[in-house]
Structure 1
Amino acid sequence: MDRTERDEMRRLAADFRQWSRLAEGVRVWHQTVQDAAGSDERAMRTRSVVVARSGRAAWRVLALGASDRDVVRRLWERALLPVPTADDRALLRLLTGEVPRAVADVAPLLGVRRFFAGAARKQSAVTASDFLRGHHGELIAAGVPERLTQLGAPTNPLGPPKVEDLLDPMLRFDLLAERTSPAPELMDRSVFEGLPEALAAIDKVVAGEASYRSAARDAGEQVRRAEVHRILRDMPVDVLKTATRDRLRLGPLAEARIGTVQEVLHAGASLQALPGVGETSARRMIGAARTLWQNTYDEMPIRIDIDHRHPEATHLLRCLAEWDAYRQTRGAAADLERAAELAPLGATISRRTSHLLVIPTRGLAAAGLGESIRMVIRRAELLGMSSGSGRRSVPADPWDDFLARPADYFAMLAELGFVTDDADAVHGDLPEEIIQAVRDQALDGAHLTASLRGYQSFAARFALVQRKVIIGDEMGLGKTVEAIAVLAHLRSRGSTHFLVVCPAAVVTNWVREITAKSRLRPHRVHGPERDRAARAWLRDGGVAVTTYETLAWWESTLRDHHDLACVVVDEAHYIKNPQAQRTARTKEIVARADRAILLTGTPLENRVEEFGNLASYVRPDLTVDVTDLSPQRFRRQIAPAYLRRNQEDVLTELPELIEVEEWLPMSAADTTGYREAVVRGNFMEMRQAAMLQGARSTKVQRLIEIVREAADNGRRVIVFSHFRQVLDLVAQALPEPVFGPLTGSVPANHRQQMVDQFSAAEHGAVLVAQIVAGGVGLNIQSASVVVICEPQLKPTTEAQAIARAHRMGQVQSVQVHRLLSEDGVDKRITELLAGKRRIFDDFARVSDTADSSPEAVDLSEAELVREVLAAERQRLST
């Protein structure tokens, strides 16, 4: 190679070194931008959280702030990188791989070292020079220098980067790589402002329940200790001799005027100073007294004695009321379920968060997340938790609240272990192997907000173990909450869709009970909103509450739905006739559901053949011979599928007052009569309208059911109404025997005769009475079921009427059924009286005048008439 060739090669090598540096810069820059954007994407994915709806992932959400604009800038840099073609990639590989090696190999021919190079290196240099000459012209002709400049030139985005740019498809943001429907959205801060604070406030209340429960338990222990103290205070010291097998000399105690076991405990170690006692005797006396104390304490149940209101019992009731107040805040089932679902998101939101990127994962639009956030924030505000207190008011006198709803208090005491059930009665007639399996079954209460009695918990666990069952507990034992507990447990285990089939008259009660006693979401698939409710249930899950008649409307939908975790059939005697259409429809759903619970208060001993039908619906595998069977043998045959307990067996604190508000829909005939009364402005006719249609009246139909079930359960019924016309109609509509009507026109001596005849009559007898007459001055303990046909204008009127049956001498629990129409005057009166009652509560509780004159706290009838009539006219005119 001569000098000219060497100069040419030096020039070519210089060009190649420059192009290689440019190529390496392009490669490094592209890789750096890609790595930075990829790292940002991974970090954002890690920061994002999944928000669930009804137990299933619904959205992936990423909290964004001002600092994320730098991320957006880096994503833009990646998006705007010049895109290399296949030729570009080949060129870069050439310039960063083979070319640098060729330039290095040709170096020995270009300097003084060429004189010292060996033959092999010279040959390599010649080959490299040929390689460089061959490619240089091609690269120049292809415009490589200009292309390298283009590949290495960054392009700036239009304007400053914004977090909103993440939605731009050009960014190719990894979290948005999969196309979703609906499309991802950005929420600004106005939507989620205050969410972390609301979640923290709700968490505080939920956590606070534990402290209130503990306080109630401690208060219960104080009641037990106080009762033990009172017993030992009256226990003579002579029992110490029995406890120590006559090894104690008690003469010195008598001389020291220590006459009771409690006085021995009070004296303690000072006993050894008494003449004739000594250290050993004192230790034995104290030990025996402490043993008696412990044995008495261990066997001491909690007693709430309304005739002796000891301070420690008052304190216990107040602690229970405070605990229950927190439990009621948790009763906002849907809101608190949303709060739990939003908790992971709340933890990612800070003061610097400006937006949320919401990416749907299963077809729910971002608006659904926004609605959940608003629900939780609104719930926190409504509960007064934004201020940090989270505390609800409790009654000034807890005894009033206890007397108004003793069942709730006894349920809480049972949950704390202070009220125990008769174990044998709790089990009904079940065989031992099933009893043991039920005992071993756990019951998850995470989605249940009500306290369960022991027998109620047993029924729920029985249904879980046996999968498809009949629960035949007597009226008033809480079959509804037993079924809800099963659904709540299944929800905790991941199930989402449940169905309740019931008569139309109790749809409202089911919806209310589900809301009040669980975190499950009810859907009323009945009436004008049934289409919307059915779609919401299919989409989101929860408890669909429907009627036997409505099953015909959506049975095809249910047939196609394969995730029905449990169906509850209320008033199951409706399907005892296997030939009825509603029986066929219900039976099909029971067969397809994973689990089923049939509820009926009808005793086993009656209608054995129909009970056999019910048993076959839930357990077709059971062989039940209904011919020539004794009840005991029949029980044994259907024991795997049937559980029944009676009130007297499991409610050890009887008598108890059980009050049920039965909100009923108006029939078409009821509605027509009611509208006519409103048009005429006849308030008293409006109050009666829902009862005057006879067999076409929903209230009358429900009344007949109550009376029949009472007869089956060996109970007598008293029916109260303000109106003589209603009483006459009721007396005609009800099955015999019916006594009355007992009205103000019946002479006083005849009234008592009527009550005596009623009390001597067979079970199922009904006394029909005008509430202002039969509700005052008579003792009717023989009745244990009270029905009030319409809300009274004075709360004290109802209280006095109920007191006729719920009083000393009553050996059965008293069930009070208030028949109330969902719309119309009943609802208006109830709402107005509730408001007025709250206003007058403080006055009524502390005023001697109010206590001695109940009418002082009643609402003016003229005022109520004006308000109700005006409200109803406005409602019906729209």
Structure 2
Amino acid sequence: MEREERQHLRGVVEEVSGWRKLAASIVKEREPVEAAAEDAARQFFGRVTSLGTGATTAWCVLQLAPSDADLVTSLASRRALPALTAHAQQGIHQLTGDASRALTAVRALFGARRIFSGKSRKGEAGQAAAYLISLHEWAASTPLVSELESLAAWDGKSLPAIGPSTILDDTVGFAQRLGDRAELVGRHELDVAKTAVSAIDQALQREDQFRTAVNAAGNAVRQDETRKLVAEMPVERLKDATSGQLRITALIDAGIRNVQQVLDQKSRIRSLPGVGETTGKRMVGAARTIWQTTLDEMPVRIDIKNRSRATTQLLKTMRAWDAARSIRSATADLAAADAVRPLLQSLDSKTSHVAVVPQARTVAELRTALAAVEHRGALLKGGDTAAGGDPWEDFIARPADYYAMLADLGFLADDAEKSQGDLPTEIVEAVRELKLDTTHLKASLRGYQSFGARFAIVQRKVIIGDEMGLGKTVEALAVLAHLHAKGSSHFLVVCPAAVVTNWVREAQAKSDLRAFRLHGPGRDDALKSWIRNGGVAVTTYDILGWLEGRIPERARPACLVFDEAHYIKNPGAQRTRRSTALIERSERAILLTGTPLENRIEEFRNLVGYLRPDLSISASEIAPRQFRKQVAPAYLRRNQEDVLTELPERVDVDEWMPMSNADEQHYRAAVIEGNFMAMRQAALRAGAKSEKMQRLIDIVQEAEDNERKVLVFSYFRDVLDEVASVLPGKVFGPLTGSVPAAKRQSMVDEFSQARHGAVLIAQIVAGGVGLNIQSASVVVICEPQLKPTTEWQAIGRSHRMGQLESVQVHRLLSEEGVDQRIIEILARKNQLFAEFARVSETADSAPEAFDITDAELAREIVAAERERLLTGG
């Protein structure tokens, strides 16, 4: 080998030797990190356990503790090692292997070894030299050297220690080996669930204890109420209770004014002047008798407007008892507890986190099970963590359950009807003294309705602002019937066109008074008959202009009734000026409106001003309570919860109304086609021009004002689409037969969580079965159904156990056409069915015997309508 060749080889050897040292240092740095990480992984995998039942593994879990920080850090350190490129891996492999041996062999070509080495060694040295030169050339043509230098510069000692909570982080790199779908669950979640499981297990054994607690809390409520009542009883009641045998002068002289004070100061009474041991005992005994009698007759009252501490405690204990007694039937929660119990029981005291690897069940299912157990445990605990922290919210959400528990314990509340509103005492007494003459009234009045009618009679000009569905119409009719019995003859009702038919029908059905429709083509003749014979004339706000000057003095109305009185809240409107002119000339007037007093105070002040300009009403900024006091002489308002019992009432309202011109055009076209289904839809196909649609909009608006939600049913998808496009506000649906069951429930859930005024529209054959929609308390049925059971089932979606509010059912009916025909034909079928069902043990199978098929009904109705419309028959 020539000198220059040897010199070049020497430079190659030096460079490759330096690279070998870099490679060796890299290996030295990485090997322990890799080894530590692999050891950490082995330890973790060795601690993974399986959870499940029988041969099925639901989840695999790895418990982690703070002491695992070193193991997790080892995994993270390996993850943090700089990645080796293909060049780097190949280079390190050659430099720490063949290159290292070649560097040793090539020494025979340098120095004294070159002289003394044998031929064989020199041959090996030559091969080594050729390999090194080749390796050098390859390394020089790749980024190997720079990569080695970068790898060698990495310092693993600069990495901070990390805790077990990061084990599934990308920076640790263990998630891929454990399973990409693994998730971490914190100890807090598990501890809460563990406590809940313990509560569930205890609840199965402690139902009697919970029941005793409810009894105690219920009696505490009764005792509080009793104490309040007895504290209001004058001490003179002791004398009454003993038939005058006790003299109470000494008690009064001592400042003891009520019966409760006698009990509170019983030890003092015996030492009062003039009261000896025997008389003192009799006084206290009489007070105790009064107190006990009051307690015995005192029901447990749950008043959502008076949330006392004692009642709140009662609700808490009832919720706990309810959860305890229902736990045995809560199969889903018990199954959830069984699923997570092995994990919770196996938890080490030092465990801070658990890595969960899904097997037969997902991690989401585990979390769902933990949440279910936690919720059930919170209910059992009866603490503030359940039901949003407020037991009142749970009561409002499911009052029927609470009242059922009270019934079980003999505590069922017997809420008195709050019929008096905010009336002053002198008005209340005057109303009570009035005897309502119901000679000409066919309807039976509830207590609050009788009070409302008597209030209107006593006060002469009033607003009845009862919430929609409480029967304002029958209250007004009761007033007219009473006045008729006292000699009055003529009455005038003014209302929107959509409810004229309804007023005429109600007057005829619930009183002896003749009703006259001063609206439509026959209004001239009807007016003459009313003037001549007397009775109830029903007209509209728009017809008042026509009516001006046409009523002679002899037919001057003894009482005016303005229904939907919010129509005249605007003083500048023509209808308002005409209405107020009538009111000024009349001795009596009743304005009916379901709009709450708290809304649109200025408009309510206007209404009161029309009736009673003598009342001094402050500006709208005044506090509501003061405002109510100021308008009380002319305004009576009762809400559903004020006058209804604890079980929800169902109020059915048949909304009869005329067809608009647009409605009639749709209807006539359907009759000409002989299309029965189109005839049924016609009255709602004209959109905003439809009378039914306008009435539906009014119902929805009033529902929103009264903080209610609305459920709208129709048989027809096209009608629902029309309703959805016209109704303002938030509309859900349409819920139809094509919507999957899961989606239906999701739709109902979203509707249930929506704000007041929300509307859910549904096909009656789809939404009418299988769903609970208690969040809606107003039900609208757009057209009469061909089978009564269809309608009953639909209404039952809302009017069922768990409904806190009374349910208002509005049936939208056109006074002419197919709706009327269907009602007439089905009326006799319903009667037959009702009679059969009452006496037959096989009533469940009776519908087939008395129902008529859709085809038969269609043929009969279409024929009748063709004759009426096309031949004038």
TM-score (ref. length: structure 2): 0.52
| Match runs of 1:261-280 below 5 Å | none
Contact 2:782–2:811 at 8 Å: present in 1 too? yes
Counterpart among 404, 411, 416 of residue 422 in structure 1 = 416
Q: CA deviation at 1:845?
A: 4.2
Offset of residue 858 of structure 1? 2.8
Which whole-Å CA distance do the structure 2 matches of 1:594 and 1:842 have between them?
48
Match of 1:869 among 842, 846, 862: 862
SS of the aligned residue for 1:556 comes to coil
**How far is the alpha carbon of 1:842 from its aligned partner?**
4.0
**Deviation of 1:294 (Å):** 10
SS of the equivalent of 1:769 reads strand
Contact 1:577 1:583 survives alignment (8 Å): yes
* C-alpha spacing 1:296/1:729, structure 2 compared with 1 (3 Å): same
Aligned to 2:427: 434
Q: Offset at 1:513?
A: 1.4
Q: Deviations over 1:34-71 (max 9, x none)?
A: xxxxxxxxxxxxxxxxxxxxxxxxxxxxxxxxxxxxxx
**1:473-484 mapped onto 2 (5 Å cutoff):** 473-484=466-477
- 1:582 aligns to 2:575 (yes or no): yes
Matched, 1:801 2:768: no
Q: Which residue of 2 aligns with 1:44?
A: none
Do structure 1's residue 753 and structure 2's residue 746 form an aligned pair? Answer: yes
Q: Does the aligned pair in 2 maintain the 1:850–1:856 contact within 8 Å?
A: no
Q: Equivalent residue of 2:548, what SS?
A: helix
Amino acid at match of 1:674: Y
**Map of 1:612 onto structure 2:** 605
Structure 1 residues 504-538: Cα deviation after superposition (integer angstroms, max 9, x where no partner): 11111111211222222211111122111111111
Q: Which amino acid aligns with 1:681?
A: G
Question: Which SS does the other structure have where 1:499 is aligned?
Answer: strand
Q: How far apart in 2 are the matches of 1:488 and 1:665?
A: 26
Is residue 850–residue 857 contact of structure 1 (8 Å, CA) maintained in 2?
no
* Cα distance between partner residues in 2 of 1:432 and 1:292: 27
Tell me the distance in 2 between the aligned counterparts of 1:420 and 1:569: 35
C-alpha distance in structure 1 between counterparts of 2:430 and 2:861, whole Å: 55
Q: 2:813·2:820 contact (CA, 8 Å) conserved in 1?
A: yes
CA–CA distance in structure 1, aligned partners of residues 292 and 528 of structure 2: 62
- The AA in structure 1 aligned to 2:528 is R
Deviation (angstroms), 1:848: 5.6
CA displacement at 1:464 relative to structure 2: 1.2
> Quick one: which amino acid aligns to residue 863 of structure 2?
A
Distance 2:868 2:500 in 1: 23
Structure 1, gaps ≥5 residues long: 1-290, 302-418
Selected match of 1:520 from 513, 516, 537? 513
Identity, % of aligned positions: 67
- Whether the 8 Å CA contact 1:506–1:662 is kept in 2: the answer is yes
Aligned counterparts, 1:247-326, within 5 A: none
Q: 1:744 corresponds to which residue?
A: 737
The yes-or-no answer on 1:834 pairing with 2:827 is: yes
Q: Of 782, 787, 795, which residue of structure 1 is paired with 2:780?
A: 787
- Asked if structure 2 preserves the Cα contact closer than 8 Å seen for 1:473 and 1:479, the reply is yes
Q: CA deviation at 1:809?
A: 0.9
The equivalent residue for 2:758 is: 765
The yes-or-no answer on 1:731 pairing with 2:730 is: no
Paired with 1:490 and 1:643, the residues of 2 have a C-alpha distance of 20
List per-residue Cα deviations over 1:587-641 (Å, max 9, x = no partner). Answer: 1111111100000000000011111111111111122233322221211121111
Decide which of 494, 503, 506 is 2:496's aligned counterpart: 503
One of 808, 811, 818 as aligned partner of 1:815:
808
Query: Cα deviation per residue 1:684-723 (whole Å; 9 max; x = unaligned)?
Result: 1110000000110000000000011011111111000011
Q: 1:656 aligns with which of 627, 645, 649?
A: 649
Asked if 1 retains the 8 angstrom alpha-carbon contact of 2:560 and 2:590, the reply is yes
Structure index of larger Rg: 2
* 3-state SS in 1 of match to 2:494: strand
Task: State whether residues 420 and 454 of structure 1, in contact with CA within 8 Å, keep that contact through their aligned partners in structure 2.
Answer: no
**Equivalent in the alignment of 2:84:** none
Q: Shift of residue 787 of structure 1?
A: 0.4
Deviation at 1:852, TM superposition (A): 5.0
Cα separation, partners in 2 of 1:293 and 1:531, compared to 1, 3 Å: farther
Pair 1:558 & 2:551 matched: yes
1:825 aligned onto 2:826: no
1:453 matched to 2:446? The reply is: yes
- Partners in 2 of 1:856 and 1:632 — Cα distance? 58
* Per-residue CA distance 1:245-270 (angstroms, 9 max, x = gap): xxxxxxxxxxxxxxxxxxxxxxxxxx
Are the counterparts in 2 of residues 503 and 571 from structure 1 also a CA contact under 8 Å? yes
User: Could you say what secondary structure the match of 1:549 adopts?
Assistant: helix
* Aligned equivalent of 1:637, options 618, 623, 630: 630
1:258-294 CA deviation, whole Å, 9 max, x = no partner?
Answer: xxxxxxxxxxxxxxxxxxxxxxxxxxxxxxxxx9999
Is the Cα–Cα contact under 8 Å of residues 683 and 691 in structure 2 kept in the other structure? yes
Q: Do residues 696 (structure 1) and 689 (structure 2) align? A: yes
| Among 454, 465, 481, the residue aligned to 2:458 | 465
The answer on whether the counterparts of 2:833 and 2:846 sit within 8 Å (CA) in structure 1 is: no
User: Whole-Å Cα distance in 2 between the matches of residues 787 and 724 of structure 1?
Assistant: 15
Distance 2:442 2:469 in 1: 19
Q: Residues 847, 485 of structure 1: CA spacing in aligned structure 2 closer, same or farther, 3 A cutoff? A: closer
Alignment CA distance shift 1:863-1:478 (3 Å):
same
Report the counterpart of residue 371 of structure 1 in structure 2.
none
1:582-601 to 2 correspondence within 5 Å?
582-601=575-594
Which position in structure 2 is the counterpart of 1:221? none
Task: Tell me the amino acid that sits aligned with residue 513 of structure 2.
Answer: L
**Could you tell me whether the CA contact under 8 Å between 2:832 and 2:850 is conserved in 1?**
no
Query: 2-side partners of 1:455 and 1:839: how far apart?
Result: 34
* Partner of residue 49, structure 1: none
| Code of the aligned partner of 2:824 | E
Q: 1:795·1:858 contact (CA, 8 Å) conserved in 2?
A: no
How far did 1:840 drift? Answer: 3.7
SS state at 1:718 partner: strand
Which residue identity is paired with 2:592?
L
1:485 and 2:470 correspond: no
> Which AA in structure 2 matches 1:649?
D
CA separation in 1, counterparts of 2:546 and 2:622? 39
Question: Residues 712 and 759 of structure 2 are in contact (CA less than 8 Å); yes or no, is this contact kept in structure 1?
Answer: yes
Given the superposition, is the C-alpha separation of residues 606 and 769 from structure 1 closer, same or farther in structure 2, using an over 3 Å criterion? Answer: same
| Separation of aligned partners in 2, 1:559 and 1:532 | 15
How many residue pairs match? The answer is 474
Could you say what secondary structure the match of 1:663 adopts? strand
The change in CA–CA distance for 1:540 and 1:421 in structure 2 (over 3 A counts) is farther
Distance 1:457 1:681, change over 3 A: same
Question: Which whole-Å deviations, capped at 9, do the CAs of 1:463-519 have from their partners, x for residues lacking one?
Answer: 111110101001111111111111111112111111111111111111121122222
Do residues 542 (structure 1) and 535 (structure 2) align?
yes
Distance 1:563 1:421, change over 3 A: farther
Deviations 1:800-855 (A, max 9, x none): 10111111111111111111110101111111111222334444445565515755
Q: Which residue of 2 aligns with 1:714?
A: 707
SS of the equivalent of 1:689 reads helix
Unmatched runs of 5 consecutive residues or more in structure 2: 1-289, 301-412
- In the alignment, the residues of structure 2 paired with residue 455 and residue 504 of structure 1 have an alpha-carbon distance, to the nearest angstrom, of 28
Counterparts of 1:450 and 1:298, CA distance in 2: 32
- Structure 2 residue corresponding to 1:624, chosen from 617, 627, 635: 617
Does the 8 A contact of 2:531 with 2:551 survive in 1? no
User: How far off its partner does 1:297 sit?
Assistant: 11
Q: Please, what TM-score do these two structures have when normalized by structure 1?
A: 0.52
State how far apart, in whole Å, the 1-side matches of 2:527 and 2:732 are: 45
Name the CA distance, whole Å, in 1 between partners of 2:299 and 2:445: 21
